A = this chain, B = another copy of it.
Amino acid sequence: MNRRKKHGLPSGSLIHMGDHKLHQVEFSVMDFNEETYSEFEVKSIDDLAPCKSTETVSWINIDGVHDALVIQKIGEHFQLHPLLLEDLMNPNHRPKIEDFDDYIHFTLRMLSYDREKKQIEQEQVSFVLGEHWVISFQETPGDVFGPIRDRIRNNKGRIRKLKADYLAYALADIIVDHYFLIIDEIDEEIEKLEDEVLNGKNEEILRSIQHLKNELLLLRKSTLPVRDAVGNLMKGTSRLIAPQTTVFLKDVYDHTLHISDSIEIYRETLNSLMEVHLSALSNRLNQVMKVLTIISTIFIPLTFIVGVYGMNFRFMPELSWEYGYAMVWGIMILVTLFLVYILRRNRWM
């Protein structure tokens, strides 16, 4: 999160705030309605002119948001607010849905779980929903939206029957659906941890618990604002969202609720796990100390006794008794038995 680059500049200044990426910005356009469908690459931004005017739904996908010039031009073409353009180029933005009357701006976080690093990877995905068009922005070219492209191409489901608002829903839905995969991964990690806590390896476990808690925080940070924003959108004040799309938004909303429920439960589980772990540590200390105490309790008195008869006094009657040595052994065995009895009675052995 490096805000320093931009500090003090007028708001709306288009400076890319992520790490610099060198690849070329790529455009792809899908234009469709229930009957027709076309797909084309775009050379210059002027090629996008028809997208705005025609009645067909146009989906413009843009891979790469580091090129201020391109963003600037698109902003002018679709008359987007400068602050929106600024947000597009800041890859660490808080997820939000902002209604600019003529268009709605979605900023979401695409999350994926990197199993190697056991870490959630995140990427910002934005899209702008206008009357007959949706523009989606991603930093790295990826195939997140592949299934949606397929559904458009093959006219599967409702996607070609409905309008741009349904397309925007479908894009948001596929992103939020991905969070369930993360939840599954975290679920597995927690199960592993539960086993490990049972087996009693320790410092590492604490760190793993911390790590997972941080991942949950990250997931929550991505989910909660979406939940609130979709909740707002559902209230149906925007003229861009058709009433029949609201039920789909409700579905996304339910998913975010489900996810945040799960997050809360996992957090509680992890807290419990930590408590079990700490109490196990404490238990083990008790065990160790018991052993020490048993050994000491038995052998320290015995050592004292043999010490007594190791003294070199000239007048020690026991030393010359014939059965003195045997007697000492007898005493020691009795003492030992007595101590073992005491320890057992206190349930330490």
Q: Chain A: residues with CB nearer than 8 A to chain B?
A: 1-4, 7-13, 81-83, 93-94, 96, 98, 100, 146-147, 151, 156-159, 170, 173-174, 177-178, 180-181, 183-184, 187, 202-203, 206-207, 210, 213-214, 217, 221, 225, 247-248, 250-251, 254, 257-258, 261, 265, 268-269, 272-286, 288-293, 295-297, 299-304, 306-316, 318-325, 328, 348
Contact = CB atoms under 8 A, between A and B. Distances in A.
A247 B214 CA distance: 32
A283 B283 contact: no
B320 A11 contact: no
Given A284-B286, A288-B348, A310-B312, A187 B1 contact: yes
Contact of A292 (B158, B258, B277, B292): B292
B94 A221 contact: no
How many copies of this chain does the complex contain?
A: 5
Nearest to A250: B98
B300 A296 contact: yes
B325 A311 contact: yes
Contacts of A274: 275
Contacts of A151: 10
Contact of A322 (B10, B250, B297, B315): B315
B173 A11 contact: yes
Contacts of A157: 10-13
Contact of A328 (B180, B213, B313): B313
Most chain B beta-carbon neighbours within 10 Å: one of A278, A281, A304, A318: A304
A217 B319 contact: no
A319 B324 contact: no
A328 B301 contact: no
Contacts of A1: 180, 183-184, 187
A312 B319 CA distance: 6
A280 B100 contact: no
Contact of A325 (B183, B268, B269, B316): B316
A319 B309 contact: no
A265 to B, nearest CB: 5
